């Protein structure tokens, strides 16, 4: 992705995954470009000023608050994660980039959407639009029905005019399916890749923003800058009517 906070054991795991599914490098890079383009779209064209980024990850290049506050200095961003290492990095690195903006971090297990909303209310105003983000995180949830109920639980708490941004790894290549299976067999926390149709159903009841659910490299790419070769990750932006 271009970040610098990573560990030898993770690099080794990444290389082992890539030996089976070389597309994972493009997927990782494209996932950050998708985040940059979608957050930019929300902060500029859609005029959203509040972001709830669920499953923060280790800070890397162009984190959500940096992209949002570059476009809208008064943007308020709440990150949610439950990994102690992510928390330690977040405290050190995820700080406001502007005087007007707010960046906060809450330590919540995302299996509990009510708790996410209860804690986020301390920083975000839930009578105004919120962009709810699930960026490459829901593969950690084993049960597909629970995936849908987590997304629906948070979206039920935000007002009309709010947005859902979601992407996840997909079963769109044999290589990625095999690598994900092998990864699970190592005893690591499994990551379940799902079909584009399963991801599409997470957006039910919402209005898709063009171009709808696509391989993330094809979501409003900048032809001068972005490689539009499809990757095994699908995502979309949709508005709550």
Ligand X SMILES: C[S@@+](CC[C@H](N)C(=O)[O-])C[C@H]1O[C@@H](n2cnc3c(N)ncnc32)[C@H](O)[C@@H]1O
Rounded distance between C-alpha atoms, residue 181 and residue 58, angstroms: 24
Rank residues 39 and 238 by Cβ distance to ligand X and give the closer one: 39
Residues contacting residue 75 through CB under 8 Å, at least 6 positions apart: 43, 49, 50, 51, 65, 68, 69, 101
Shortest spacing between CB 82 and ligand X, in angstroms: 4
Footprint of ligand X on 139-168 (CB under 6 A): 140
By beta-carbon distance, which residue lies closest to ligand X?
Answer: 57
Residue 133 CB, shortest distance to ligand X, in Å, is 7
What x-and-dash track marks residues 55-94 binding ligand X by CB under 6 A? xxx-----------------------xxx--x--------
- CA pair distance 132, 61, nearest whole angstrom: 20
Q: Where are the alpha helices (DSSP H) in the chain?
A: 8-20, 24-43, 64-71, 84-93, 113-120, 144-157, 174-185, 196-201
- Site membership for ligand X, residue 111 (CB under 6 A): yes
Q: From the CB of 64, what's the least distance to ligand X, in Å?
A: 8
- Summarize as ranges the residues that interact with ligand X (CB under 6 A): 31, 35, 55-57, 81-83, 86, 109-111, 135-137, 140
């Amino acid at each position: 992705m271009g970040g610098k906070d990573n560990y030898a054991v993770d690099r080794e795991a990444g290389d082992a995954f890539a030996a089976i599914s070389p597309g994972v490098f493009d997927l990782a890079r494209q996932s950050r470009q998708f985040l940059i383009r979608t957050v930019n779209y929300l902060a500029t064209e859609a005029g959203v000023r509040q972001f709830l980024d669920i499953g923060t990850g280790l800070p890397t290049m162009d984190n959500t608050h940096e992209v949002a506050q570059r476009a809208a200095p008064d943007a308020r961003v709440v990150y949610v994660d439950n990994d102690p290492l992510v928390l330690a990095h977040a405290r050190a690195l995820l700080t406001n980039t502007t005087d007007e903006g707010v960046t906060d971090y809450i330590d919540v297990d995302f299996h509990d959407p009510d708790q996410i909303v209860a804690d986020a209310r301390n920083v975000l105003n839930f009578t105004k639009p919120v962009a709810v983000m699930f960026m490459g995180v829901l593969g950690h949830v084993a049960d597909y029905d629970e995936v849908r109920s987590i997304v629906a639980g948070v979206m039920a708490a935000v007002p009309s005019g709010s947005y859902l941004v979601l992407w996840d790894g997909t079963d769109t290549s044999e290589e990625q399916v095999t690598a994900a299976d092998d990864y699970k067999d190592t005893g690591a926390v499994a990551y379940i890749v799902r079909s584009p149709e399963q991801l599409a159903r997470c957006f039910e009841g919402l209005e898709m923003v063009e171009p709808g659910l696509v391989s993330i490299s094809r979501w409003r790419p900048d032809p001068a800058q972005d490689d539009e070769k499809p990757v095994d990750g699908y995502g979309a932006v949709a508005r709550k009517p």
